[in-house]
């Protein structure tokens, strides 16, 4: 399936690399799939990590339940 990636760096490595604060310590995951919650840095909050659901929401579906069915 397309749209998968991994997260293998520690909290400290991510904070140093992106110069941003992370409040939780994410566990390494080597098969992050759509619908999973992942740490993200946004342009609105570049100094801290936010958490979003990974995946694609189609134009016809404006909410997460529709994206989960794809």
For 40-64, write each residue's pLDDT tens digit.
Answer: 999 999 999 999 888 776 666 666 6
Q: Is the pLDDT of residue 66 over 60?
A: no
HSE-CB at 47 with a 13 A cutoff on CA atoms is 0
What local confidence, expressed as pLDDT, does residue 12 receive?
A: 95
What residues does each domain of the chain span?
5-68
Q: Is the pLDDT of residue 5 over 70?
A: yes
DSSP string, 14-55: HHHHHT-B-SS-PPPEEEE-TT-EEEEEETTEEEEEEEEE-S
pLDDT > 90 fraction of the chain, expressed in percent and rounded: 51
What local confidence, expressed as pLDDT, does residue 33 receive?
A: 87
Find the helix or strand (DSSP H, E) in which 66 lies.
Answer: helix 64-68
Residue range 29-47: average pLDDT? Answer: 91
């Amino acid at each position: 399936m397309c749209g998968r990636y991994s997260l293998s760096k520690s909290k400290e490595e991510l904070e140093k690399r992106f110069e941003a604060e992370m409040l939780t310590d994410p566990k390494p995951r080597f098969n992050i799939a759509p619908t999973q919650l992942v740490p993200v840095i946004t342009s609105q909050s570049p100094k801290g990590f936010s958490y979003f659901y990974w995946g694609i929401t189609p134009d016809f579906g404006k909410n997460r339940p529709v994206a989960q069915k794809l």
